[in-house]
Amino acid sequence: MGPRVRFAPSPSGYLHIGGARTALFNWLWAKSQGGVFVVRIEDTDQERSSLDSVRAILNALTWLGLDWQEGPEVGGPHGSYFQSERKQLYRDAVEELIRGGKAYRCYCTKEELDAQRAALKERDPKAQFVYPGTCRDRKDEPDLRHVVRFKSPRQGSTDFVDKVFGEIRTPNEVQQDFVIVRTDGFPLYNLAAVVDDHAMGITLVARGRDHIGNTPQQVLLYRAFGWEAPDFAHLPMMLSPKGEKLSKRHASVAVQDYRERGFTPMGVLNYLVRLGWSHGDQELFSREEMIRLFDIAAVNASASRFDTGKLDWINQQYLRSGDPEVIAPRLVAQLAAAGLDVRQGPPAAAVIEAYRERATTLRDLAASAHYLYAEPADIDAAAVSKHLTAAIAGPLRLFTTRLAATADWTRAAIHAVMAAVAAECGIGFGKLGQPVRVAVTGGTVSPPIDVTLELLGRERTLERLARAVTRLP
């Protein structure tokens, strides 16, 4: 039986690009080993959680192609997959710990704890406050606001072997009696994650390096319940190019941003998979190669630096090599976002074939091809002045007339007409082609002129050429 892994985001906003990397590594491990990828929504923080965030996260996962076998929208044998709907399970687990003397109700107020913390700081500014266990052996149970604390061992150490960072040892003397249930009755992360991971049969917990400090507490909880702990793999941090915590100052951090900017899902996935994992010097992977080659044990412990230039390059490669028919719906979305209607121009797949060599993203491509669906958004006045001159008036009029009489609107036929007119007028092909390009596109950059005119279509081409001819000096 293959591994059971999970991705468990908190729905307090968008899917962070670092979270997407975590989801990808879990998904790849499940796929490569014939396992199950579970999505669980950790929404116990009701103030910060929202259904809009849930939808945004699930939509981002779907866009990336990271399908889940259990979780929201698909169900499964271990539902609900929303922690807010599993509260009774947590209550039962907490009561079991309390009855077994492994947890206790703590009635210490925030004010009391703050006073103790302040007194310690006054005695020793460098000392780390550890809850002294005031309520640890308390027998009465007053009807007062309280939290529930786990009764941590005071001696020995809590050890586990991480698949990325190796053996992790935490002396129990530095572990305090940590809170597992808030005053509002909701469980904290460590308790809920342990209860759910056990109930859902999770065999590997792969998550960000920032969670490694939680793991000793979770190991203690597993032992207290008498449950076998899963394996753990903590993934290296993603940093800015300068080695700082990755933030919006350095790059887009939301998967949705990359979707809106016209990146391809495979471009994003291929970039993310190389942040902490590699297979020799190979840079580009198909989805099938990622699944076949990925090994969680091969993840590097060193932090990875986010390089937007490298992401651009990788996305460009996928844009150039991908199946235009597969990419086409994503270009249609970009065209629509720019206010353009694909029905008013050539098929998106044909546009991709012609324009992708120069584009980094689909947004770039849509901007380059704008004039195929509407009047040119920007007219290059310098190009008009340079190329649409009195000297070209005769050849341009002749070309327009000859083209209008051409029944076969293909790039080959268009090329033949242009070549014949250029030869007849005693000018080079480019001397005619560039003025035509400026006349129909508003600028000097496009695919080969015969391809451009074929995509633009007879009606738009002839209309723009005629308009240009009438405006010639």
> Annotated catalytic sites, by residue?
248
Q: How far apart are CA 268 and CA 22, in angstroms?
A: 13
State which amino acid sits at residue 260. E
What's the token pair of residue 11?
Answer: 């729905």
Phi, psi of 148 (to 5 degrees): -115, 130
Print the SS3 string covering the chain. Answer: CCCEEEECCCCCCCCEHHHHHHHHHHHHHHHHCCCEEEECECCCCCCCCCHHHHHHHHHHHHHHCCCCCEECCCECCCCCCEHHHCHHHHHHHHHHHHHCCCEEEECCCHHHHHHHHHHHHHHCCCCCCCCCCCCCCCCCCCCCCCEEEECCCCCCEEEEEECCCEEEEEEHHHCCCCEEECCCCCECHHHHHHHHHHHCCCCEEEEEHHHCCCHHHHHHHHHHHCCCCCEEEEECCEECCCCCECCCCCCCCEHHHHHHCCCCHHHHHHHHHCCCCCCCCCCCCCHHHHHHHCCHHHCCCCCEECCHHHHHHHHHHHHHHCCHHHHHHHHHHHHHHCCCCHHHCCCHHHHHHHHHHHCCCHHHHHHHCHHHCCCCCCCCHHHHHHHCCHHHHHHHHHHHHHHHCCCCCCHHHHHHHHHHHHHHHCCCHHHHHHHHHHHHHCCCCCCCHHHHHHHHCHHHHHHHHHHHHHCCC
Q: Using alpha carbons, list the distances in angstroms from residue 246 to 18, 112, 177.
A: 9, 37, 32
Residue 19's Cα: distance from chain center in Å? Answer: 7
Nearest to 329 by CA among 265, 253, 284: 265
How far is 405 from 156, CA to CA, in rounded Å? 92
